[in-house]
Amino acid sequence: MQQTAQTNDAAQAAAAHAAQAAADGAGKFDPLHQFQIQPLVPIRIGEWDFSFTNSSLWMVIAVAVISFIFLFGQNRIVPGRLQSIRELAYEFVANVTRDILHDEGRPFFPFLFTLFVFILAANLLGMIPYSFTFTSHIIVTFALALTVFVLATVVGFVKNGVRYLKLFVPSGVPVYMLPVLVPIEVISYFTRPISLSVRLFANMMAGHTMLKVFASFVVGLGVIGGWAPLAMMVALTGLEFLVAFLQAYVFMVLSVIYLSDALHPEH
Q: Which of 97, 98, 126, 103 is nearest to 254 (CA)?
A: 97
Question: CA 229, CA 235: separation in Å to the nearest integer?
Answer: 10
The predicted structure's pLDDT at residue 259: 94
pLDDT value of residue 18: 39
CA quadruple 188, 189, 190, 191: dihedral, nearest 10: 50
Grouped pLDDT means (10 residues each) for the chain, 267 residues: 44 44 48 81 86 92 93 76 87 93 91 95 91 92 96 93 85 80 90 93 88 73 68 82 94 94 81
pLDDT value at residue 141 = 95
Which pLDDT value is given to residue 251? 96
* pTM (predicted TM-score): 0.82
**Rounded Cα–Cα distance for residues 228 and 50 (Å):** 44
Amino acid identity at 93: V
| CA–CA separation, 57 and 43 (whole Å) | 14
Which amino acid belongs to residue 156?
G
Q: Is 94 exposed, middle or buried (0-12, 13-18, 19+ CB in 10 A)?
A: middle
Helix, strand, coil percentages for the chain (3-state, nearest 5): 80, 5, 15
Predicted pLDDT at 247: 94
d(CA 18, CA 211): 28
Query: Would you state the pLDDT for residue 17?
Result: 47
- CA 44/CA 58 separation, integer angstroms: 21
Identify whether the C-beta of residue 100 lies closer than 8 Å to the C-beta of residue 18. Answer: no
What pLDDT score does 109 carry?
A: 94
DSSP string of 10-23?
HHHHHHHHHHHHHH
pLDDT of the residue at 220: 67
The residues, any chain, with a CB within 8 Å of residue 137's CB and separated by 6 or more, are 35, 37, 55, 201
